Amino acid sequence: MNYSELLKNIYEEVKGLPLEGKVASYIPQLANVSADKFGMSLLTVDGKEYKVGDTDENFSIQSISKVFTLTHVMSLVGETIWERIGVEPSGNSFNSIVQLEYENGIPRNPFINAGALVMADLLVSKLNDPKKDFLEFVRKISGNKNIEYNLAVAKSEKETGFMNASLVNMLKSRGNIHNKVEDVLDFYFHQCSIEMTCKDLANSFLLFANQGKCAHLQDQIISGSQVKRISALMLSCGFYDESGEFAYKVGLPGKSGVGGGIVAVQPQKYSVAVWSPKLNKKGNSSLGMKALELLTTKTGMSIF
């Protein structure tokens, strides 16, 4: 497969499309990002890299970080995570407090905000220095020792994160948060503020295409069985309430974030990351969704 030529063709096609949607503005720092950015990076399991566009520019990964927290939590506590979080699509907004109350404080899945807050609580309990240790974990699986939190974004999220504060207090009232609410929120806001490039994200997600091993280290981060479970959740729950649409049009497990990033995996073949900040009404990158649809359409390969 000539991925280099393929990515160039996809780039030319999507850059000719109208820039629909708008940059996330409810987190003030994200509103400052240039709307016309576009990058796409693909890494194969045998170590080949293909890229086009703005692939070496850092951006806020936001909810993509929830895959990293899930991976880290599962590496520490295994299947006991599912005593506190479900594995079903929510069918509601990613920050719905009504559903959380109705289901007695057990979030539907790890990728809605309530589920991510429970994972944050687990990491605050398990790690000696949660923010430092988690950042080191992300650096390890990405192969980039220079990855950092964007403290301005974390501060911006803290100042506007009223719904997340409501969710974590609801969880606390139902006994599903074990640490101080302030500590859990602080970790969560920092987690979402991590900045990475398309290349970093593709490198990080390669372990899901490589049976749980980091290709650059050959370290076994999680088991093949855990890869299967995380990939299943990415397919069914990774794109807010547009997950069915992504599975239908793209056919790969993946995760999006309101920073405009999307990462997806073709098991045993490649990982691919795309970044374009303008979001559709469901909170996913408009051009990113289209680029990945073109990728699987043109290659004729998906998981189905």
Strand order in the sheet with 59-60: 59-60, 194-196, 148-149
Report yes or no on 259 lying in a domain. Answer: yes
Tell me, what's the pLDDT at 63? 96
The answer to whether residue 241 is domain-embedded is no
Let me know whether 42 and 190 are in one domain. no
The CA distance from 253 to 243, in Å, is 9
- Asked if residue 77 and residue 185 are part of one domain, the reply reads yes
Whether residue 227 is contained in a domain is answered as no
221 in any annotated domain: no
DSSP-H helix ranges across the chain: 3-15, 65-77, 97-102, 113-126, 130-142, 151-160, 162-173, 181-193, 198-209, 224-237, 243-249, 286-299
Co-location of 117 and 10 in the same domain: no
Task: Tell me, yes or no, whether 131 lies in a domain.
Answer: yes
Within 10 A of 219 (CB to CB), how many other CB atoms are there? 12
Q: How far, in Å, CA of 52 to CA of 274, rounded? A: 10
Same domain, residue pair 89 and 166: yes
**In the prediction, which pLDDT does 209 show?**
96
Q: What is the pLDDT of residue 197?
A: 97
Residues 122 and 71 in one domain: yes
Active site residue 11: no
Catalytic residue among 63, 142, 271, 286: 63
pLDDT value, residue 170:
96
Residues 296, 51: Cα–Cα separation, whole Å: 16
Structural domain contains residue 25: yes
Domain shared by 97 and 30, yes or no: no
| CATH number of the domain enclosing 293 | 3.40.710.10
Query: Do 184 and 205 have their domain in common?
Result: no
pLDDT value of residue 233: 98
Q: How many domains does the chain have?
A: 2
How high is the pLDDT of residue 161? Answer: 92
26 carries an active-site annotation: no
248 is catalytic: no
Residues 68 and 136 in one domain: yes
Instruction: List, for residues 21-57, the tens digit of each pLDDT value.
Output: 898 887 888 888 888 899 999 999 998 999 999 999 9
* Cα(228)–Cα(254) distance, integer angstroms: 12
Residue 74 included in any domain: yes
Encode the chain (304 residues) as per-residue pLDDT tens digits.
Answer: 899 999 999 999 998 888 778 988 878 888 888 888 999 999 999 989 999 999 999 999 999 999 999 999 999 999 999 999 999 998 777 788 988 998 999 999 999 999 999 999 999 999 999 999 999 999 999 999 999 999 999 999 999 999 999 999 999 999 999 999 999 999 999 999 999 999 999 999 999 999 999 877 778 999 999 999 999 999 999 998 899 999 999 999 999 999 999 999 999 999 999 999 999 999 999 999 999 999 999 999 999 9
Catalytic (active site) residue 281 = no
Q: pLDDT value at position 21? A: 87
Residue listed under structure tokens 């920073």: 259
Task: Give yes or no: residues 88 and 17 share one domain.
Answer: no
Active site residue: 23, 258, 265, 272, which one?
258
Q: Would 159 be classed as within a structural domain?
A: yes
What is the domain extent for residue 290? Answer: 3-60+196-215+254-299
